[in-house]
Amino acid sequence: MPRTGTVNYHVHRDTRQAFHIDAGGVVGKLISPELVATDINVWDVRNGHTAVTFATDCVSFVQEPTQVAEFTEDQHWKTDYDRELTELLKREVEAKEVIVFDHTVRVDDSNSDRKPACNVHSDYSAQGAQQRLVDILGPDKAAEWSSGHYGFINVWRPIETPINSAPLAFLRPSSVADEDWILIDLVYPDRLGHIMGLAANDRHEWTYQSKMTPDEVTFFNIYDNKGLPSIAHSAIDLVEDDCLHVIRKSIESRTLVRY
């Protein structure tokens, strides 16, 4: 049987919508476009009642212990962790080259500068992904990669304790209609970006893996230049065990891969 949780869907509007991040230069201050809290049924891949694969559903869950003991702000762990992620993606998706370019630690706490992302979205629009490719590689090398097959993959891992609240859930791409997507601006103090938000649709099929531990990761497609769908995802309002009171912490790592 599925679990019941709540997500925040975007809403179609006649005018362009935006998140204002670190609004007014205040770190952690977020001004959101309109979102609608919506109850969903979500199927747990842990119990075997449903299954997902990266090739068909653009997301996968694997056992992948790390040698990193603490993900501290000084990022002394970055070299070792980047190497682990590179080995993971070369093995799991047969990437020929991997560039890890961003890490974000999220903490489900009112004092956190980066809380779980609780809106249904995917990380890049096509335009945003192509611009990010140039930002990372430079125009000449980006043109070289664009002539072949490349993609952006997000790798997400719990930190310190198993996830008891606000787990990360994913929409099967086959259940999403083209018209569900909405281009959303990301307005930073010093730059403009984009994501793709998602409007509600009764056909949407949600999956997640319950009680993920720090020895497990999920990796999922956020852009692919050869047409593999970008997967919509969100933290969901769901508690596994009401008797446990632990802070949900996670690290997400954005990678650029060349196939």
Q: Which tokens belong to 112?
A: 């956190």
Name the pLDDT band for 201 (thresholds 50, 70, 90). Answer: very high
Name the pLDDT band for 26 (thresholds 50, 70, 90). Answer: confident
Q: Check pLDDT > 90 for residue 117.
A: no
114 within 8 A of 107, measured Cβ to Cβ: yes
What is the pLDDT at residue 85? 98
Mean per-residue pLDDT, 112-124: 89
Percentage of the chain beyond pLDDT 90 is 82
- Find how far residue 252's CA is from the centre of its chain: 7
What is the pLDDT at residue 31? 84
Q: Check pLDDT > 80 for residue 49.
A: no
pTM: 0.94
Name the pLDDT band for 11 (thresholds 50, 70, 90). Answer: very high
Q: Check pLDDT > 80 for residue 23.
A: no
What is the pLDDT at residue 213? 98
Neighbours of 51 (CB within 10 A): 11
> Hey, where are the domains in the chain?
3-258
Contacts with 123 (C-beta within 8 Å, 6 or more apart), sequence order: 152, 154, 195, 222, 223, 230, 254
225 within 8 A of 231, measured Cβ to Cβ: no
Rounded to the nearest integer, the mean pLDDT of the chain is 94
End-to-end CA distance of the chain: 37
From residue 60, give the alpha-carbon distance in Å to each of 52, 55, 134, 209, 215. Answer: 6, 9, 27, 10, 14
Q: Model confidence over 60-112: pLDDT tens digits? A: 999 999 999 999 989 999 999 999 999 999 999 999 999 999 999 999 887 78
What is the pLDDT at residue 112? 81
Name which of 119, 104, 123, 120 is nearest 249 in CA terms: 104
What is the pLDDT at residue 143? 97
> What single DSSP character describes residue 213?
-
Q: Model confidence over 138-185: pLDDT tens digits? A: 999 999 999 999 999 999 999 999 999 999 999 999 999 999 999 999
What is the pLDDT at residue 13? 94
Name the pLDDT band for 234 (thresholds 50, 70, 90). Answer: very high
